[in-house]
Structure 1
Amino acid sequence: MFNRLYSNIDIFNKALDGLWLRDKTINHNISNANTPNYKKLSVNFEDKLKNFMENKSSKLIKTHNKHLPTTNSLDEVKPIINIDKNHSYRFDKNNVNIDIEMANRAKNNIMYNAVINQTVDEFDKIKNVINEGSK
């Protein structure tokens, strides 16, 4: 049971890292909203995290006991920063839409707070197990 709990905490931690980087990137976009030729940045990590959660073990088959382990590592899940070079909303070739960025920041803050609450709930579960076990 503890492995599952710690695994959830590790996944939540990885999600928080991605959400924190996204917040930093959105703030960078907002601060460069009036910079000529600036191209908007975005962060993607959800697909990789979802893939990890769905395929915790590799589909490779171990045919010999001396082969390397085939499990996927959560350390391999890293956020990707993309540069949007396709669109330009203005004559100065800047493609940051401040309204969209502000909405993205609000959405990201809600997601961050939700993951924080889930992480706290996981620690509460561990605390309850410890407290009940000591009785």
Structure 2
Amino acid sequence: MGLLNSISFQRLQKGIDAATMRQNALANNVANVDTPGFKRSDVSFESFLREKENGLQPSLGAKVTNLRHIQFGSAGSIPAPVIQTDENTSMNNSRNNVDIDREMALSAENQLRYSSYVQLLSSQISMMRTATEGR
């Protein structure tokens, strides 16, 4: 297993991917704030990751009926970010459900999340570089 194939690097990579996808979805929401019938989108990742880590999300949906059954599938895999559209709400008569203030707040939160992921990744690479070069 390579140094960059660890589970922490995979989590950070998926987190960065999710933050990028979320920023694109939020930008699309803002761009369509006045489009009649437009429904906002968001990206789900952190909740899926939390469920996976807590064992609440089955790896392949296989049912285990006996404790002696062998677990199979990708138990250590990181869930992929998923774009979800909110079809159930409406903000006004045009059936659009984009709240510009909420979208801007979510965008700022996402920017902070992205920055922290990149900073953590940089820190881990720096620690590995120190360990391998001995400086």
Q: Where on the TM-score scale, by shorter chain, does this alignment land: which range?
A: 0.7 to 0.9
User: Please, which runs of 5 or more residues in structure 1 have no aligned partner?
Assistant: none
Task: Tell me which moved more, 78-87 or 117-126.
Answer: 78-87
Quote the sequence identity (%): 23
Deviation readout 1:84-126 (Å, 9 max, x if unpaired): 1222111111110111101100100001001110000110111
Q: How does 1:67-78 map to 2 (within 5 A)?
A: 69=72, 71-74=74-77, 77-78=79-80
Could you tell me how far 1:62 is from its partner in structure 2? 7.0
TM-score by length of 1: 0.79
Aligned to 1:41: 41
Q: Which amino acid in 2 is paired with 1:17?
A: D
Determine whether 1:119 maps to 2:121: yes
**Are residues 33 and 130 of structure 1, via their aligned partners in 2, closer, same or farther at CA, if it must alter by over 3 Å?**
same
CA root-mean-square deviation: 2.8
Aligned to 2:132: 130
Determine whether 1:15 maps to 2:15: yes
Inter-partner Cα distance in structure 1 for 2:68 and 2:133: 41
Could you tell me how far 1:26 is from its partner in structure 2? 0.4
2:14, 2:81 within 8 Å by CA — same for their partners in 1? no
Question: What secondary structure is seen at the aligned counterpart in 2 of 1:118?
Answer: helix
Out of 90, 95, 98, the position equivalent to 1:96 is 98
User: Please, which runs of 5 or more residues in structure 2 have no aligned partner?
Assistant: none
Question: What secondary structure is seen at the aligned counterpart in 2 of 1:37?
Answer: coil
TM-score by length of 2: 0.79
**Are residues 70 and 35 of structure 1, via their aligned partners in 2, closer, same or farther at CA, if it must alter by over 3 Å?**
closer
1:5, 1:122 within 8 Å by CA — same for their partners in 2? no
Question: What secondary structure is seen at the aligned counterpart in 2 of 1:74?
Answer: coil
**Are residues 121 and 62 of structure 1, via their aligned partners in 2, closer, same or farther at CA, if it must alter by over 3 Å?**
farther
Q: Which amino acid in 2 is paired with 1:43?
A: V
Aligned pair count reads 127
Q: Which amino acid in 1 is paired with 2:105?
A: A
Query: Which protein has the bigger helix share?
Result: 1
